[in-house]
Amino acid sequence: MNLNTKFLGKEFKNYKEIDSTQLEIWRRIENNNISNGTIISANIQTNGIGTHGRIWHTDQENDIAFSFFIQTDCNICKLDGITIEIAETIIQVIKKLYNIELQIKKPNDIVFKNRKIGGILCQTKLIGEIVKYIVVGIGINTNKTYFTKDINEIASSIKKEFGITVNNNDIIVEFCNVFEEKIIKRIGDN
Query: Residue 58 above 60 pLDDT?
Result: no
Give tens-digit pLDDT for 123-148: 999 999 999 999 999 999 999 888 88
Q: Answer yes or no: is 6 within a domain.
A: no
CB atoms near residue 111 (< 10 Å): 18
Average pLDDT over residues 68-85: 95
Domains in the chain, number: 1
**Class of residue 158 by CB neighbours under 10 A (exposed 0-12, middle 13-18, buried 19+):** buried
Q: Answer yes or no: is 5 within a domain.
A: no
Distance separating alpha carbons of residues 4 and 180, to the nearest angstrom: 9
Q: Answer yes or no: is 1 within a domain.
A: no
pLDDT value at residue 54: 54
Query: What is the distance, to the nearest Å, from the Cα of residue 119 to the centroid of all Cα atoms in its chain?
Result: 7
Q: Answer yes or no: is 69 within a domain.
A: yes
Higher pLDDT, residue 67 or 49: 67
pLDDT value at residue 14: 94
CATH number at residue 179: 3.30.930.10
3-state secondary structure of 147: coil
Q: Answer yes or no: is 182 within a domain.
A: yes
Residue 133: domain span: 12-187
Query: Residue 150 above 90 pLDDT?
Result: no
Phi-psi region of 81 (alpha: psi -120 to 50; beta: other; left: phi over 0): left
Q: How confident is the model at residue 51 (pLDDT cuts 50, 70, 90)?
A: low
3-state secondary structure of 68: strand
Q: Answer yes or no: is 84 within a domain.
A: yes
**For residue 58, which of 143, 176, 174 has the smallest C-alpha distance?**
143
Q: What percent of the chain has pLDDT over 90?
A: 78
Distance separating alpha carbons of residues 158 and 163, to the nearest angstrom: 7
Q: Answer yes or no: is 2 within a domain.
A: no
| DSSP string over 108-140 | TEEEETTEEEEEEEEEEEEETTEEEEEEEEEEE
Among the residue ranges 46-50, 51-55, 88-92, the one predicted with the least confidence is 51-55
Q: Answer yes or no: is 50 within a domain.
A: yes
Query: Residue 52 above 60 pLDDT?
Result: no
Distance separating alpha carbons of residues 171 and 140, to the nearest angstrom: 10
